Structures are given as structure tokens and as C-alpha cells.
Copies of this chain bind each other. A is one copy, B any other.
Amino acid sequence: MSALEREVADSAERVPLSPVRLQEPVPPPPGRSVEGKLIRRLLSYVGNPPIEFVLWSGERISTVTAPVTRVHITDRRTLFGLVKDPHIRFGDAYSEGRIVVEGDLVRFIETMYRAAPVQPKAARTLGSFLRRSRHRRNTPDGSRENIHHHYDIGNDFYSLWLGDTMAYTCAYYPRPEATLDEAQFAKFEHVCRKLRLRAGETVVEAGFGWGGLALYMARKHGVKVRAFNISHEQVVYARERALREGFASQIEYVEDDYRNISGRYDAFVSVGMLEHVGVENYPTLGGVAHSVLGSNGRGFIHSIGRNRPAPLHPWITKRIFPGAYPPSLSEFMQIFEPWDFSVLDVENLRLHYAQTLTHWLELFDANAAKVRAMFDEKFERMWRLYLAGSIAGFTTGALQLFQVLFAPKGNNNVPMTRAHLYASPAG
């Protein structure tokens, strides 16, 4: 906790923070100061959310009479930066403790998302433009750098908050009260049921994270898995775990790009890799699936998505996930349509991802001291903002989570209904 945060926390004991206790709000000040005018302009730009800014001088500025949360700005330079480039500078200043948010961070970001002006219908064009201008493209070399940036920062760090499965993708909560580990296993099972895996079949996985799904498929469904990943740290971890748990002969973890997948398999699966593929490579990804599946094959892709084409938040792209892009469904379909694949089932698990992230953030917060010890306070704040912002993205519908099941054209060896997915509790 920074000095300012301690101060805010102390003052919170005296000055109540919750909206209920903000019943007697200070009336908005005249705002004649330069700072006041800048903040009003900023608030208008982001749709006049019901928040109040508190400046280093103690001045309070809001455009509503009953703000639900307060944001402290510690110095003039931070304010000027925020006005100049709010999308990047907010996250950076928050990470550095130069912006402090009172109360619940998720609730604050939700408030911001809900106030945001509706994007113009030209979002597709803007999105295309921004995608093109992204600095590091998902070529094989670019992908390796992009993936290294995020996934190779330390298995010990991720193991603090991802739970036993080390699954770093949306879980599936058959019951609202399921634990994180239960929900991750239920997700594995849900995926396997969608693919109708049978013992003895072969599966190829594109992007395997720390290897949890491959392990589950091998253990519970008796399939052979060949899994591809370009994160070196993850590959090392997955191989060790498979060896330790006795599945080394059933699973081959390959450190290579999905573009180099070859062979013939009964099923193609990819959970949480598509975000890093880039729309320009979707037909290539579909071509890989097409080349490895026979006429009775099944394919499955799980990815964060959007209601319509839009770039990822620029701060997330810059600091957290370089090269990442969650597609809209029309973009998603560019994987399948060039290859005449039939899409069999699309499920949107948006609220499951909000719950998953809530569980991750709880573990992250519980282990905050360890995170600080591994990295520093800036890193801790940056990642908290990323996790909290992601929760808000899913609860407000700024982000979606799509599971797409597909099969080669004319594969009639598919179940008539989806009742088998729900025949008994998943996991």
C-alpha cells in the first residue's frame, strides 16, 4: 500500500466512502480552476460517469450530484497526462500509484464502462485500422515475442492465483457456488463432451497453456494428445507435470507454432489461443484444422470475443497483451467459412469469465505480498487493474467468451441434440 493509499484508507475511516454514506455530497465546486475545466472536459469525453475527482489540492470535481466513487490524482503532471492520452495514462498512473481509486476497483471500472458513449457504427473500420497499425504483428516471430511477454514471466507467479489446474482461461460453473478448481475441471469436461471424445481417439491442441486440458483429456477420456505452444516456460511446466503424473506417453507437448501442426487427428481443440492469432491469420488457422481433420472430425475453439469488431483496450494491448485481439463472431467465422466447415454450436460464457476472474482476483489479492516480493508494487497494481478491468469488461458486456464447435462439411456423425452435455453434472 502506497503512502497515499494509506492516507486515503485512514481518511476513509473518517469520511465515509460508500455511495450510501455519500448522502450529503459536497456540491460540485465552481470548477473555475484550470484543473477543474480539464477534468470536466475529461469527464464529458468518457460519458460523464458518476465519479468524483479529488485533486492534490483537495479540490473536488464531479459532473453529477451523487458520485458513486472517488478518484484521487496526486499531482498536476498526472492530470495533464490523463487529459492528453487517457486510455494509456490512466492505467500507467494507476500502476504507479499516482491515481488512487477509493472503494471497489471492479465497481469503479464497471461505472466507467457503463457511462462510455456508444461506439459509432463505423467501429469495424476503426478496428481494422487499429489492427493494421498495431506495432508487432502475429507473424511466427512476432507471435513468439508477444507470447513471451505475457506467459513467460514466471510459472511461480501464475501458480499463486490460477488454482490447481493452472488453467488461464474462462472456467465453467455448472452451479454458481462451484469453486475455481471445480469450475476449471467442469470446463475441461464441457469441452470434451462437446467434442464427443472417445477412448483411443487422437486430439491435436493449438496453444495448451500449462497443459491442464491435455492432461484431463488423456486421464478422463483416454485419448492421445499432441499439443502445441510457443511459451517456453509453459512447455517446460507441462512436460514435467505430465511426466510426474504418468501421462508422458499419452501426451506430446510440442514447443512450436500452431502454423506447423501437421498429421491426422480425430479432434482439433484450441482454448484461449485465438486471442493471440490475429484476424489476418484466421483463414490460416482454419486451414490447419481443415488439413488435420478427416470427414468425421470435430473441432473446437474457445476465445474471448466482442459483440462487434473493436480494438482491445489500448492500455491492455500496450502493457499486458501485445498483439492480442478478441474477435466478433463475424470475424471469428473467417476461420471456418473459407474451408466450408459447419459451425455446430456457439455458446457465450461471458458471465462465467467474470466469475473466473473474480476467483483469480481473490487469490491474487490474498497473495499480493508475494507478488510484490517477486516483482514490485507497480507490477502488482498493474496486474490488479488488468484483472479488475477484465471482470468489468465481462460483467458489462464489453467482452464476450465464445465456445465454437465445428465439423467438416457433411459430417453426419454428430449428435442430434445437445442433451448429452447436460445428462449429468459436468466435472
State the A residues within 8 Å of B (CB): 114, 118-119, 121, 124, 172-174, 176, 307-309, 328-330, 333-334, 336-338, 340-348, 350-352, 395-397, 400, 402, 409-412, 414, 416-419, 421-423
Chain B proximity of A392: nearest CB distance (Å): 11
Given contacts A330-B333, A346-B346, A395-B412, contact A341 B307 (CB under 8 A): yes
Question: Besides A345-B346, A419-B422, 16 other CB < 8 A contacts?
Answer: A118-B340, A124-B337, A173-B417, A307-B337, A307-B342, A307-B409, A308-B340, A328-B333, A343-B346, A344-B347, A344-B348, A345-B347, A345-B348, A351-B412, A418-B421, A422-B423
A340's contact among B307, B340, B350, by CB below 8 Å, is which? B307
List the B side residues contacting A395 at CB < 8 Å: 412
Given contacts A397-B409, A409-B397, contact A342 B337 (CB under 8 A): no
Given contacts A352-B416, A409-B397, A418-B422, contact A337 B328 (CB under 8 A): yes
Chain B proximity of A335: nearest CB distance (Å): 10
Contacting pair B309 A337 (CB below 8 A): yes
Contacting pair A351 B416 (CB below 8 A): yes
Determine the distance from Cα of A308 to Cα of B334 in the docked complex, in whole angstroms.
9
Determine the distance from Cα of A124 to Cα of B336 in the docked complex, in whole angstroms.
13
Chain B proximity of A355: nearest CB distance (Å): 8
Q: Which residue of B lies closest to A411 (CB)?
A: B397
List the B side residues contacting A422 at CB < 8 Å: 417-419, 421-423
A333's contact among B329, B341, B347, B419, by CB below 8 Å, is which? B329
List the B side residues contacting A346 at CB < 8 Å: 343, 345-346
Contacting pair B337 A330 (CB below 8 A): yes
List the B side residues contacting A343 at CB < 8 Å: 307, 329, 346, 348, 400, 402
List the B side residues contacting A336 at CB < 8 Å: 307-308, 329
List the B side residues contacting A119 at CB < 8 Å: 340
Determine the distance from Cα of A397 to Cα of B343 in the docked complex, in whole angstroms.
11
Determine the distance from Cα of A410 to Cα of B421 in the docked complex, in whole angstroms.
26
Contacting pair B348 A114 (CB below 8 A): no
